[in-house]
Chain A
């Protein structure tokens, strides 16, 4: 493992986006950062800015209004990036499934890498999901590099 890959695993910066749910999972994510759960021992930092973030935590079902916003945010995140759907609503649509004004689950809008079920999710689950996401970051980067090599070879 190269130094950069190691540090990528050690320093996941997070942007957390609420797309219009009940905010229950929001509060649980914030609880992760508090002394009791202390996600920052994994190097997690909440940036509030997609341009600095590696991992996007999405909470809540995606409302139609939020669809464009969430794609914009996703596009502004630099590669490699991981999207984590936090809570039942983001993973499947939850109790909003089939409701008007909704796209349903998050994976219909942007590609999702990790699903964390639960209503609300427990902070332990969020941390577990984050750690799962860390390995995916490096995998994704390797894939991107391979594709670049391929397209170069093709050219």
Chain B
């Protein structure tokens, strides 16, 4: 099938449907536009998967006359920055204003003074990584769209909500496929704008504040990215990602005062851009602040779009860092990622708000992915891609579950969710599946952690390997802590509790069921996924397919079969579920020293020890210090 057609199906069609749904009156018509968009998007992503990798060049659009796309995108880019300026001015947010002006200046410098952008090249690349990303964005994104039909019913600003959601998905797809760095930058800033608008959806004080914070932090990342692009064009004389692999690095005269190792400086800038997008440690506050947005937005930000763009970028530049000899830079990325992984898990431990727990756990898993890209061996990159997929499925599911639970009990506090299984069995069971899939073997995250552990123990420098393993171990243990506490709370019922007839909203529940099934399917298909869908650049010397022996994942150090363990896991839980019968006559209340009163139980969050207020004042400076070390590692 024509690649161009598929590309426009995944990029332009969501935008088109967004505009349609914005224009048509009435919730019902909008609903159909959204459903249609979700369908088209899923089918298109599957077609892209079926079609396989290819390269595309888009130079101009013909609508009566021929318009060069490059020019349009540059014009839109400046327009975008003007929008940011407008919002900065409107909210009296001077950080946004300043950063937008700076970005404007840098962009103008890039377009006007930096040469090397004239020759034509491949503008969009569909390779295995972007296919995987496209599947995540399109499939999970579509499910979230369907879910938001149920969730947003009765909301005031629902038209603009659907419009932005769909534009966001299209923009994200474009970002994934873009090969031209200046275009990529535009789509990058596009996700910033969309997330900004979605976070301030409710237009009240806290959401405006949170959105402004998200905006300035992401603008900072944008600046880092544009600096990276300028330096790439100056040093490598190309603006295409795919050509960087074969590019000749030369230090331009203007930068000759830098040491020779500074040739990887642009990648350091791009990594910082990726850190802001993925909300890694010093930038974590925008993502936790973004929890004021409606839950589908959080689901979209956390699982399929926004934050994934950051780690996607890291995976993209990881082989380049390897080629141009940035071993030290990789090590620092490992440490930044591992630091976020461990300490965000620790921060999540002290939270009672379910969405904040999920937000911190997202940052922590993104840290793990970033860490894998820092370890930068074929095993580690495989782990990173696998974690990206498995995390997206589980986290998308959990956010949607929290949204539904909030609808049922009117609270996001996990202390209030005690015994929820009696009130809403379906959503609770699905939530527990989601929670277990994030902490226990043999689910996807475990496969990823297993790979990460293996790759960390192949590290050539044994000292850093120990640090990486330290981070992995403690991060995993902390996440087990908060997830199992939450899962247990959901399941705690009184002896004789019976369920009232539950109200079903199928728009919200069908995506949940599909995603929950997706968790099992994705684990069962791990081996196929590894052989077929992960394609590493040649520099790594090995393909993930080499891991797979029959149904077993086997590295040089050991192996296990995800499918077999999945079956065992299901059997272990199904046997008791099917066999155990609870006769009414043997029900007794819990032991409460014979008082017969139901005690208030809860707590154990250690706020005084590891609460946000305690930890963040140390963690943020350390994060900033790590960023400084990142640049020092390149320059010294």
Which of A49, A68, A72 gathers most chain B CB within 10 Å?
A72
Task: Find residues 562-592 in chain B having any chain A CB closer than 8 Å to their own CB.
Answer: 588-589, 591
Q: Given contacts A68-B596, A72-B596, are A49 and B588 in contact (CB under 8 A)?
A: no
**Given the complex, which residues of B lie within 8 Å of A69, measured CB to CB?**
593-596
Structural contact, A75 and B595, CB atoms closer than 8 A: no
Measured between beta carbons, the chain A residues less than 8 angstroms from B593 are 69
Residues of B within 8 A of A76 (CB): 588-589, 591, 594
- Chain B residues with Cβ under 8 A from A68's Cβ? 594-596
Residues of B within 8 A of A50 (CB): 591, 594
* Contact assessment for B591 and A49 in the assembled complex, using a CB-CB cutoff below 8 Å: yes
| Complex interface bits, B583-617 against A, C-beta within 8 A gives 1, otherwise 0 | 00000110101111000000000000000000000
Give the complex CA separation of A76 and B592 in angstroms: 10
How many angstroms between the C-alpha atoms of A82 and B595 in the bound complex?
21
Chain A nearest Cβ from B192, distance in angstroms: 57
> In this assembly, does A149 line the interface, its C-beta being within 8 Å of a C-beta of chain B?
no
A73 within 8 A of B: yes
Residues A72-91 near B (CB distance < 8 A): 72-73, 75-76
* Complex Cα–Cα for A75 and B589 (A): 10
> What's the nearest-Cβ distance from chain B to residue A46, in Å?
15
Q: How far is the CB of B598 from chain A (nearest CB, A)?
A: 13
Centre residue among A49, A50, A70, A76 by max chain B CB count within 10 A: A76
Tell me the nearest residue of chain A to B592, going by C-beta: A72
Minimal beta-carbon separation of A44 from chain B (angstroms)? 20
B residues less than 8 Å from A49 (CB atoms) = 591
A52-79 at interface with B (beta carbon < 8 Å): 68-70, 72-73, 75-76
In angstroms, how far is the closest chain A Cβ from the Cβ of B494? 15
Shortest B570–chain A CB gap in Å is 30
User: Is the CB–CB distance between B594 and A70 below 8 Å?
Assistant: yes
- Judge if A140 is at the interface, Cβ distance under 8 Å: no
Distance between A87 CB and nearest chain B CB, rounded to angstroms: 20
Chain B residue nearest to A73 in the complex (CB): B594
Q: Which residue of A lies closest to B586 (CB)?
A: A78
Q: How far is the CA of A51 from the CA of B593 in the complex (A)?
A: 11
A144 to nearest B CB, angstroms?
13
Give the docked Cα–Cα distance between A75 and B588 (Å): 8
* Alpha-carbon separation in the docked complex, A70 to B591 (Å): 12
* Residue interface bits A99-133, CB-to-B below 8 A is 1, else 0: 00000000000000000000000000000000000
In the bound complex, how far is the Cα of B596 from the Cα of A70, in angstroms?
10
User: Complex formed: what's the CA distance from A72 to B593 in Å?
Assistant: 9
Q: Closest B residue to A71 by CB, please name it.
A: B594
Q: How distant is the Cα of A15 from the Cα of B626 in the complex, in angstroms? A: 58
Which chain A residue shows the least CB distance to B593? Answer: A69
Q: Point out the residues of chain A lying under 8 angstroms from B594, CB to CB.
A: 50, 68-70, 72-73, 76
Chain A residue numbers with a CB within 8 Å of B589 are 76
Return chain A residues, CB-CB under 8 Å to B596.
68-69, 72
Q: How far is the CA of A73 from the CA of B588 in the complex (A)?
A: 11
Rounded to whole Å, the gap between the CB of A85 and the closest CB of chain B is: 17
Q: What's the Cα separation between A50 and B591 when bound, in Å? A: 8
Are the C-beta atoms of B591 and A51 separated by less than 8 Å? yes
Beta-carbon nearest neighbor of A76 in chain B: B588
Give CA–CA (A49, B594) in the complex, Å. 10
CA distance A65 to B185 in the complex (A): 74
Distance in Å: Cβ of A50 to nearest Cβ of chain B: 7
A18 to B378, CA, bound (A): 67
The interface residues of chain A lying within 8 Å CB-to-CB of B591 are 49-51, 76
CB distance from A17 to the nearest CB of B (A): 8
Least CB separation from B588: chain A residue: A76
Output the nearest chain B residue to A74 by Cβ-Cβ distance: B594
Closest A-chain residue to B589, C-beta based? A76
CA distance A69 to B589 in the complex (A): 13
Give 1 or 0 for each of A22-64: 1 = CB within 8 Å of chain B CB: 0000000000000000000000000001110000000000000
Residues of B551-567 at the interface with A, using a CB-CB cut-off of 8 Å, are none
Distance, CA A73 to CA B592, complexed state (A): 9
Cα A16 to Cα B633 in complex, Å, equals 67
Question: In the complex, how many angstroms separate the beta carbon of B531 from the nearest chain A beta carbon?
Answer: 52
Contacts of A75 in B (CB 8 A): 588
**What is the CA–CA distance of A50 and B593 in the complex, to the nearest angstrom?**
9
B588 to chain A, nearest CB (A): 6
**Chain A CB within 10 A, most for which of B589, B595, B596:** B596
- Closest Cβ neighbor of A75 among chain B residues: B588
The docked-state distance in angstroms from the alpha carbon of A50 to that of B594 is 9
**How many whole Å from A15's CB to the nearest CB in chain B?**
10
CA distance A50 to B589 in the complex (A): 12
Residue of B nearest to A68 (CB): B596
Bound-state CA distance A73–B595 (Å) is 9
Q: Which of B588, B589, B594, B596: most chain A CB closer than 10 A?
A: B594
Taking the closest CB of chain B, its distance from the CB of A140, in whole angstroms, is 17
B584 to chain A minimum Cβ distance, whole angstroms, is: 15
CB contacts (< 8 Å) of B595 on chain A: these are 68-69, 72
**In the complex the two chains form, what is the Cα distance from A72 to B591 in whole Å?**
9
B586 to chain A, nearest CB (A): 9
Q: Using Cβ atoms and an 8 Å threshold, which residues of chain B touch A70?
A: 594
Q: What residues of chain B lie closer than 8 Å to A73, measured between beta carbons?
A: 594
Q: How far is the CA of A128 from the CA of B5 in the complex (A)?
A: 91
Cα separation A75 to B594 with both chains bound (whole Å) = 9
A71 to chain B, nearest CB (A): 8
Bound-state Cα–Cα, A104 to B256, Å: 99
Task: Give the complex CA separation of A133 and B176 in angstroms.
Answer: 76
Interface residues of B in 24-57 (CB under 8 A from A): none
**Within the complex, what minimum Cβ distance (angstroms) separates A52 from chain B?**
9
Q: How close is A64's CB to chain B, nearest CB, in angstroms?
A: 14
| Complex: A68 Cα to B589 Cα, angstroms | 14
Interface residues of B (CB under 8 A from A): 588-589, 591, 593-596
Q: Which A residues lie at the B interface, using CB under 8 A?
A: 49-51, 68-70, 72-73, 75-76
Can you give 22 A-B contacts (C-beta < 8 A)? Answer: A49-B591, A50-B591, A50-B594, A51-B588, A51-B591, A68-B594, A68-B595, A68-B596, A69-B593, A69-B594, A69-B595, A69-B596, A70-B594, A72-B594, A72-B595, A72-B596, A73-B594, A75-B588, A76-B588, A76-B589, A76-B591, A76-B594
Given contacts A68-B595, A69-B596, 10 further A-B contacts (CB under 8 A): A50-B591, A68-B596, A69-B594, A69-B595, A72-B594, A72-B595, A72-B596, A73-B594, A76-B589, A76-B594
Q: Which 3 A-B pairs have the closest CB atoms?
A: A69-B594, A73-B594, A72-B594
